[in-house]
Every structure is written in structure tokens, then in C-alpha cells.
Amino acid sequence: MHNAGEPTANGGREAVARNSFLYPRADIANTVRYRRSKGTLRGLEKLASAVSGWPVRAVEAYRGLGVTQNISYLRINRGRTIDLRDADALADIGTAFDESAHEVDVRSGNGNIPDVKVYVWRLESFSVTRTPAYCYEEVAPNCFLFSALGNDTVLYTRPVDAAGQSPTKLNLPMPITRAMLEYFEADESAGAESGVPFFYGMDKSFMIAVGTADSLVPSNQIVAADLSDWGARPATEQVAVDPVLGRIMLPPTPTRRQGVWVSYQYGAPTEIGGGEYTRIISQPQGAVVYKVGSNEVSHRLADALALWNNDAPKDAVIEIVESGVYSEAINIYLKAGTTLKLRAASGVRPILRLLDVQVSAPDSLQVTGESGSWLSIEGLLITGRGVQVDGDMAGVVIRHSTLVPGWGLQCNCEPRRPAEPSLTVTGTIGCIRIANSIVGAIEVSRDEVETEPLTIKITDSIVDATSEERVAIGTPDRLCAYAALTIIRSTVFGQVQTHLIHLAENSIFNGQVLACRRQTGCVRFCYVAPNSKTSRRFECQPDMVEKAVRERFARGDITPQQRDLELASERLRVEPDFNSVRYGAATYAQLTDACAAEIRTGADDESEMGVFHDLFQPQRIASLEAHLNEYTPASMYAKIFLAT
């Protein structure tokens, strides 16, 4: 079965991605134009954006310098003292849009007169379109969450083209604050009374519909509110929105309201898991396609499965063409030699919500297959329960999908069932392939007698057991799962207990790793938690920093006590540090700026270890610094600030 996400070490796809940042075509094609605008602020912005691939805003520090105004030549927007009545300006202090005055700071790069601050936005803004909001009945039936998973989520702007001008908040993928929603003014001279019209409406950052997906709430009824404790009381015909938490409160009514539908933007480092982004769609030649949607023959997934069972084609595709929530019990049985792709159409994100409806039987997505059969899950987000695979199948492919870690999310993104696996594999399945996906724990139950180990191949993905103390890949009844693991450019939260590791490369193992068979295989350019037992390791951390300390001790430079202290200190220093380890947060699995350089540049090509390796952020930042030094005027200093 064709699998575009199959891992290849140092493959062509990786080289193409790296070269697109090291040798940006936009920069090369426009070299003459950039040299003509050399030294101008807008020229720096265009150059920086072309080189890094990130949205950029440049700010000249001298414009924020507190000065004594000439009464005959007032510059109102230049170096103002703080206006305590301007909530929008107060919220912007310390950001790229800071309008307040400051004194001279002679430290270069911190606001000195010749400094230029170059702000870059690394997180992208992704859409969710016409999906049901989550009714948060724990508080009241008029309380809703934008996220259909029931967790708080920060609303992001939907960037619009800056049309050749310096970007504003409307042109950048950034979180919407309460102050922006309440006070934002695109043009201060316009005297706008609310920021809602800039962010709310069709084809804007978010929208809310009550009753049906087309019954849009008028923008004059939307009010910004702090719903952190659900304490707001919106007036009649008003809808309170908290963009920081992604919460909605409708006015209370004596009867239960109809459903609420939302469209919104959320932030993420890149395209991973189920999402409304463009994906490569492929299928076997001659495959029968069954489509699921409100305007299709099958309105539910169960209807398409019934047609597929009745027709019994050798190769088939069931494609969901709309974003939405599908709450159904799903059982799939594959006959020998058949293939089935259960996928979302490119650009949509359907959610399969597996409900607890049976008393005496499990409610997981059940998949059983005979010899030579394949199942592919592509572009889906599965919540409520996990996926159980059994039988004698050739294999299962999971691409650009999310199997929610812990089955579901609390409001604060904590998992609802943290100890439960997202993928359970029994029987004699040939292989499991996971690419560009987010999955919870993987549990393998396999008899070692007269069978080969299960082949597990994971690339550009996150495996999250919700804690480094829980098992991310393992088995409930043995020391090690009878599986052969290949994992490349991935991040694992939790312990790995497997029969052997064929290859681990450019990955982060945040919990201890145990490979029962260590005579073969290789672990290279990875972070492996201390006290792990693996096959031979090459250029891994903390091995390298420990080796340096031991060499100093062998030379007699330090005492045994100093050696032990430095070993503990170095292990702690290079331990990966993440902005968030909870699925649902915009910065999930993103390394912090303070993370050790050995991790941020520790891959075999000096990119970062882990799932976001192919973003090549260290190379992009280094290239941006080099170009800024070339194009910044003499006596001026440009410094990069990571806005997200």
C-alpha cells in the first residue's frame, strides 16, 4: 500500500525542505529590489520575511523614545507617555506594537536609539470551519467552548494581506486578546468604539451561529468579556466572548437553546495532526470512493460503511467532505487482500467522537482484518475513545491524524483518561505506520511464539502518554512490547518499552527507553532520558555532555565530587524544555527559547531534535541574522525577537 509518509533517513523530502530555507527563492529572485530598498524599514521587513518564511514586523527603537514635544510641530504617535485610559495601548506594552515612551537604554539590542527590533511570528494560524461548539453543561446550558473537544483554546487572527504596507495586528497570525476585541482600532483617527468588527464575521477570525450553521449572530451583539470563572452575565440579545480562553456565554433563557456553530482560528507551529490544511490525496487505481457529507448520498459515516460492506470492493475510500462532529459507533472488518482508506477531504477536519453508549462492550473504533488487508486513517481527529486493531492485517497507516491523548480534554487541556491508550494492537498485524500525526499511548499485545515482532514506523509525529512516567509504547503484560521500532523526527512523551529499535534519529524521548534486544539497531542524534537502555547510541544527549565531564575527570581537572555535581548539572541543563506538554495548547511540544543549544541544534543537520525538526528554525534564524547584518545601515543594530 502506498505510504507517502514512510520514513527515510536523510531523504530527498528533507533536503528539499532544508534548501527552501537555506536558499530562499524569494530572496534570490528579488535581490536587486531588496538592494534598492536597502536600509529602509519596509525593505528590512520584506527581506526578513522572504529569508525566514515567517511574518515579520520591524520597529525602530528611536520612535519610542520619550521626547519633549515642540508645540508647533506635534507628533502625537511618537514617544507618548502612558495613557491609562487606553486599554489597547496598555495591553501592547513590551510587544511589537508598543506605543508608550521609554528612556534611552544604551545596551545594544534593548532599545538604544540606533536599534531596530525585528519581530517574527513562528506560530501559524489554522482554521476550523462551521463546527459545533461544545456545550459546557457543568456550568450552565448557555455556556459554550469554541473547541469541540471541550478545552479552552486561544483564538487567533486570520491574517489578511498587508498590501505592501508594514503589517498590523490584522496581518499577523497572533492571539486575539480581550483588549483587542474590545478596543482595537486599525486607524486611531477613525475613532472606532469596538474591535469586534475587525475580527468577527464571515471570512474573518471567528464567527458564531445559533440554531443553524447559517444563522450568524450580528456583530453588534458580540461583546468581549473575561469568562475565566464564567461570572459574566450578558444582557438580552448579547453574546459574551472570551478570545483568550475560547469561551462563549449566551444570554440565559428559560428553555434550552438550539445548537451553536462556530468558525475560528487556532495557533500551531506547523501542519500536524487532523486539521483544515491541504494534504496530498492518493488512492489505489480503480478504488471505489464513498463520500460522506450533508449533500452526499451518505450523511453519516455508518451509511458509507454499510454501502462499502454491501458492495465489497477490493480497494475503497470513504471520504468525509465537511468539517463537523460525527458521533457514531464504528466497526470495520476487512476481508483478505482488501484496502480501505478512511479519510478527510483535503482542507477539512472532521471529528470522530466515539461515545460511551454500550454497557457490556467497549466503544473504541474497532478494526479487524484478514490476511493482506490494509487500513489507512488520514486527516481525522478521533476523540472519546481509542482505536483497537486486531486480526491478521498487513498493516495500518495513520497520516495527518490525531488520536487525542487521554481520549479527551478537560477545560485546562488536562487529559480526561490519562492512563488509557489511543491505539491498541492485538493479533498478528504486520506493521503500524504513523506520519505527521499526534497519538496517545500505543499498547501492543502480541505473542512472541511463532510470530515476527510488530513493525512500528513513526515519522514527524508526537506520541504522548500524558506523562513521562507512563508508558508511551509498550505492553501491559510483559517487560517489553514485541515490536521493532523505527522513529524519525518525532517527540515521545512517556516511556518506551520495546523489543528492539531498528533506528531512532533526530528524536526526543522524554521518558526512559528500554530495548530488550540491544545487539542490533542504532540511536543517533537523539535526546534519550538518563538510565535508558538502548542499542548503540551516536551523538546523543545527555551522553555527549556527560562524556565531556568524564574526560575532564580523566585528565585530573576535577575531583570525583565535582564530577558527580557536574554530571547532574549537565543532565539537567540539556533536558528538553517545552512551552507546553499538553495537547490543545498552541505551543504544544514546541521547544522553549531557553532550551539547551544541544537540543535546539542537536540533529544531524544542526536543526532541532523532535517533531518540529523540518521547520529548520535554527537555520532560518541564522540566515535571517546574516541577511539583517548585510542590509542594516552602518551604525545601526538589528536584533531578532520571537513574538511567538
CA angle (383 as vertex; 350, 486 as ends), nearest 5: 95
Residue 76, pLDDT > 50, answer yes
The set of cell numbers assigned to 394 is: 498487513
Confidence of residue 163 (pLDDT cuts 50, 70, 90): confident
Query: Tens digit of pLDDT for each residue in 132-150?
Result: 999 998 888 889 999 999 9
Model confidence at 349: pLDDT above 90: yes
pLDDT of residue 5: 39
**pLDDT band for position 106 (50/70/90)?**
low
Beta carbons within 8 Å of 91's beta carbon, 6+ residues apart:
177, 179, 180
Q: Which of 108-112, 234-238, 317-321, 411-415 has the lowest mean pLDDT?
A: 108-112
Q: For 360-385, what is the mean pLDDT?
A: 87
Confidence band, pLDDT 50/70/90 cuts, at residue 32: low
Residue 105 has pLDDT above 70, yes or no: no
| CB distance 446 to 475 below 8 Å | yes
- Residue 2, pLDDT > 50, answer no
- At 9, the pLDDT band (50, 70, 90 cuts) reads very low
The reported pLDDT for the residue numbered 254 is 60
Query: What is the average pLDDT score of the chain?
Result: 86
* Residue owning grid cell 505492553: 475
Instruction: Look at residue 358 and give its three-state secondary structure.
Output: coil
Residue 368 has pLDDT above 80, yes or no: yes
Give the tens place of pLDDT for each residue, 386-426. Answer: 999 999 999 999 999 999 999 998 888 999 999 999 999 99
Quick one: angle between helices 617-631 and 41-52, nearest 10? 150
pLDDT in tens, 151-161: 999 999 999 88
Residue 357 is predicted with a pLDDT of 61
β-strands 402-403, 365-369 pairing: unpaired
More confident residue, 387 or 629: 387
Q: Is the pLDDT of residue 362 over 50?
A: yes
User: From CA 630, how far away is CA 298, in angstroms rounded?
Assistant: 59
Whether the pLDDT of residue 116 is over 50: the answer is yes
Mean pLDDT of 58-85: 73
Mean pLDDT, range 587-595, rounded to an integer? 94
Q: What does the pLDDT read at residue 232?
A: 82
CA 620 vs. chain centroid, Å, equals 19
pLDDT of residue 441 exceeding 70, the answer is yes
What's the pLDDT score for residue 462?
96
Lowest mean pLDDT of 191-200, 379-388, 468-477, name the range: 191-200
For the chain, the helix, strand and coil percentages under 3-state DSSP, each to the nearest 5: 20, 30, 50
Distances, alpha carbon 373 to alpha carbons 3, 25, 205, 212, 285, in Å: 14, 43, 43, 41, 16
Least confident residue range of 256-265, 386-395, 605-614 = 256-265
pLDDT at 223: 92
Q: Which pLDDT score is estimated for 337?
A: 93
Q: Which of 460, 409, 549, 80 is nearest to 269 (CA)?
A: 460
CB 642 within 8 A of CB 120: yes
Comparison of pLDDT for 257 and 619, the residue scoring more:
619
Task: Give pLDDT, residue 21.
Answer: 61
pTM attached to this predicted model: 0.91
pLDDT reported for residue 3:
45
Residues in contact with 304: Cβ distance below 8 Å, sequence separation at least 6, in sequence order: 290, 291, 292, 298, 318
How would you label 286-301 residue by residue, b for 16+ Cβ within 10 Å and e otherwise? eebebbbbeeeebeeb
Residue 61 has pLDDT above 90, yes or no: no
The 10s digit of each residue's pLDDT in 493-508 is 999 999 999 999 999 9
Question: Between the CA atoms of 559, 560, 561 and 562, what dihedral angle is there, to the nearest 10 degrees?
Answer: 50
Kindly state the average pLDDT of the residues 442-453.
83
Name the band, by pLDDT with cuts 50, 70 and 90, for residue 101.
confident
Q: What is the pLDDT of residues 536-561, one digit of tens each?
A: 999 999 999 999 999 999 999 999 99
